[in-house]
């Protein structure tokens, strides 16, 4: 009875909200799937509890996509330092430093690069439900593209150079990163 009356835990709410965002992005990516674009979701990183939300193999390379859901104003890039201090790029979400999200994508990219060798690998952070506005602009923080779902799909659909063996790379990734 206490469980029924207790409020839902914050971690449960956050997971549910994130899962909804991942499902929306996953559906958009699944719409791109073809012989030349392979889409994989929820792949486990070996020797880790972590997972990769989505991996997309195109003729132009492998896209590692982490999806986050933030309602409110659009994320932004902030650059600090420069002349007297080292230049630092930050990801700001609702006024808070969320650069740790970019660091997480970079770790995932490193794991995928280990699996695929010389194949180009790109990191993407897809922010769902943010108020991107009428004329949104994608940006990169420390080499990771920060985008919204429609922009993500458009960038991936255009990825054709250099031509790699999509089927072979997708098979290699599926072996290294089993379904979670």
> Which tens digit of pLDDT belongs to each residue from 152-163?
999 998 887 778
Q: What is the pLDDT of residue 19?
A: 79
| Helix, coil or strand: residue 82 | coil
Determine the Cα–Cα distance for residues 20 and 17; give it in Å rounded to an integer.
5
* Residue 163 in domain: yes
Q: What is the pLDDT of residue 180?
A: 86
Q: How many domains in the chain?
A: 1
* Residue 123 in domain: yes
Determine the Cα–Cα distance for residues 47 and 99; give it in Å rounded to an integer.
24
- Return the structure tokens found at 143: 């080499």
Structure-token match 């943010």, residue found = 130
* Residue 15 in domain: yes
Residues of the chain with pLDDT under 50: 1, 10-17
* Residue 4 in domain: no
* Residue 2 in domain: no
Q: What is the pLDDT of residue 18?
A: 56
Which structural domain range is residue 63 located in?
A: 9-176
Determine the Cα–Cα distance for residues 56 and 60; give it in Å rounded to an integer.
10
- Return the structure tokens found at 79: 């650059």
* Residue 54 in domain: yes
Sheet of 96-97, strands arranged across: 76-80, 88-93, 96-97
**Which CATH number covers residue 67?**
3.40.1350
Determine the Cα–Cα distance for residues 32 and 156; give it in Å rounded to an integer.
8
Q: What is the pLDDT of residue 5?
A: 53
Q: What is the pLDDT of residue 78?
A: 96
* Residue 22 in domain: yes
Q: What is the pLDDT of residue 159?
A: 80
pTM of the model: 0.86
* Residue 141 in domain: yes
């Amino acid at each position: 009875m206490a469980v029924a009356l207790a409020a839902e835990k914050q971690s449960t709410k956050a997971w549910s909200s994130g899962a909804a965002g991942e499902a929306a992005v996953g559906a958009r990516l699944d719409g791109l799937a073809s012989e030349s674009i392979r889409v994989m979701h929820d792949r486990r990183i070996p020797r880790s509890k972590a997972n990769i939300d989505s991996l997309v193999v195109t003729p132009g390379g492998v896209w590692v996509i982490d999806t986050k859901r933030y309602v409110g104003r659009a994320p932004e890039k902030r650059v600090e330092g420069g002349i007297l201090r080292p230049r630092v790029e930050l990801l700001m979400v609702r006024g808070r430093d969320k650069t740790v999200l970019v660091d997480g994508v970079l770790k995932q990219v490193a794991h995928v690069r280990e699996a695929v060798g010389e194949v180009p690998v790109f990191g993407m952070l897809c922010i769902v439900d943010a108020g991107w506005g009428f004329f949104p602009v994608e940006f990169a923080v420390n080499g990771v593209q920060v985008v919204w779902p429609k922009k993500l799909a458009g960038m991936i659909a255009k990825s054709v150079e250099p031509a790699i063996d999509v089927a072979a790379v997708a098979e290699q990734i599926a072996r290294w990163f089993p379904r979670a």
